[in-house]
Amino acid sequence: MITFYQTHTSDFVCRTSLPQGSLQVAAHLHRHIELAMLLEGNTVAYDGTERYQLEPGDVFISFPNHIHRFETVDQERYILMIVNPDLMPELAHTFLSFSPRSARVPGAARDPQLLQIAEALVASTNDTSPYADQMRRGYLQVFFSKLLSQMELTESPYQDSQALKTVIAYCSAHYQSELSLGLLERELHISKYYISHLFSDKLRIGFNNYLNSLRLSYACDHLCHSDASITEIAEKAGFGTARTFNRAFLKQMGCTPSEYRQGKRPQNGAPARK
């Protein structure tokens, strides 16, 4: 399974199904919480290797740095949220140090209070009035506090969660430079074998694939929104050679960088939405 790392420029996205269309999106991960309230239709969602059949009234939530994807079965009506946990300081530790036993919360979308708050969050996305940000944070705090109270969570070992946060933060800051497990071991004083285990066990993605996803996310953004040459973008993204870049791009995106820039992207390539 090809996994794509999404870099979100916004801390908060909340929208309904119209006019964006279906939930369907390829396997990806990011440091945000992603949540879908399914109001109508049917969807299959995956959190890691776990498969969930979602029915109207269900909520699906993927915690930060969990690989997830959606496959539309019947046209859905939904509310989608993508939220930086830092917007809720009181809950951020929970999202970063715990995992749900099940990413599906049956019937939660039929909870009148949760649905009312979710609709208020959708309406707030275009609110520029004074204290609108504070109001959104308040809504988010109440919404996720109520939702978490309906879920069973398991705590990650403290050492694992702290080490993973340290490694991810370092990778996010240095992926455009030379980066390897050996370098991480020297810079962070964490065994490269332990780091490799964390990626495979916690993120379920190999370190090199994760690193390539970071670099390709940068490259895709600049292919779409800059006039820089493909060679220049490859170098700035952190790829040692154009050949390495082209090979990684074709493998993960299903097309060449020039085809991607021209809009010739296969359906099974990078996620269609952010």
Q: DSSP letters along 119-148, please?
A: HHHHHHTT--STTHHHHHHHHHHHHHHHHH
Q: Are residues 118 and 246 located together in one domain of the fold?
A: no
> What are phi and psi for residue 180, nearest 5 degrees?
-155, 170
Residue 16 CB coordination number (10 Å): 15
**Spatial contact of 154 and 98, defined as CB atoms under 8 Å apart:** yes
Residue 65 has pLDDT above 90, yes or no: no
Instruction: Classify residue 267: in a domain, yes or no.
Output: no
Q: Are residues 137 and 194 located together in one domain of the fold?
A: no
Mean pLDDT of 204-216: 90
Residue 134 CB coordination number (10 Å): 9
68: enclosing H helix or E strand: strand 68-83
pLDDT on residue 73: 83
Q: Is 95 left (phi over 0), alpha (psi -120 to 50) or beta?
A: alpha
- Give the count of domains, the chain: 2
Out of 1-15, 104-118, 140-154, 181-195, pick the least confident.
1-15
Instruction: Classify residue 273: in a domain, yes or no.
Output: no
Instruction: Identify the CATH number of the domain in which residue 105 sits.
Output: 2.60.120.280
pLDDT on residue 29: 84
Pick from 21, 87, 37: nearest CA to 272? 21
211: enclosing H helix or E strand: helix 207-225
Q: Are residues 35 and 132 located together in one domain of the fold?
A: yes
pTM of the model: 0.76
Instruction: Classify residue 207: in a domain, yes or no.
Output: yes
Domain's final residue, options 155, 188, 207: 155
Q: Are residues 183 and 142 located together in one domain of the fold?
A: no
Instruction: Classify residue 272: in a domain, yes or no.
Output: no
Q: Are residues 183 and 72 located together in one domain of the fold?
A: no
Q: Are residues 175 and 110 located together in one domain of the fold?
A: no
Residue 273 has pLDDT above 60, yes or no: no
Q: Are residues 66 and 184 located together in one domain of the fold?
A: no
Domain's final residue, options 125, 155, 185: 155
Residue 102 has pLDDT above 90, yes or no: yes
Q: Are residues 69 and 169 located together in one domain of the fold?
A: no
Cis check for the bond before 271: say yes or no (omega within 30 of 0): no
Tally helices (H) and strands (E) across the chain: 10, 10
Q: Are residues 137 and 215 located together in one domain of the fold?
A: no
pLDDT over 70 for what percent of the chain?
A: 92
Look-up of token digits 């996620």: 271
Burial class (CB in 10 A: 0-12, 13-18, 19+), 159: exposed
Domain's final residue, options 115, 132, 155: 155
Tell me the residue length of the chain.
274
Q: Are residues 249 and 147 located together in one domain of the fold?
A: no
Instruction: Identify the CATH number of the domain in which residue 193 sits.
Output: 1.10.10.60
Average pLDDT, the chain: 89
Residue 30 has pLDDT above 80, yes or no: yes
Q: Is 194 left (phi over 0), alpha (psi -120 to 50) or beta?
A: alpha
pLDDT greater at residue 65 or residue 231: 231
Q: Are residues 167 and 98 located together in one domain of the fold?
A: no
Instruction: Classify residue 39: in a domain, yes or no.
Output: yes
Instruction: Classify residue 15: in a domain, yes or no.
Output: yes
Tens of pLDDT, residue by residue over 124-173, are 998 889 999 999 999 999 999 999 999 999 987 767 778 888 898 899 88
- Domain housing 245: 158-261
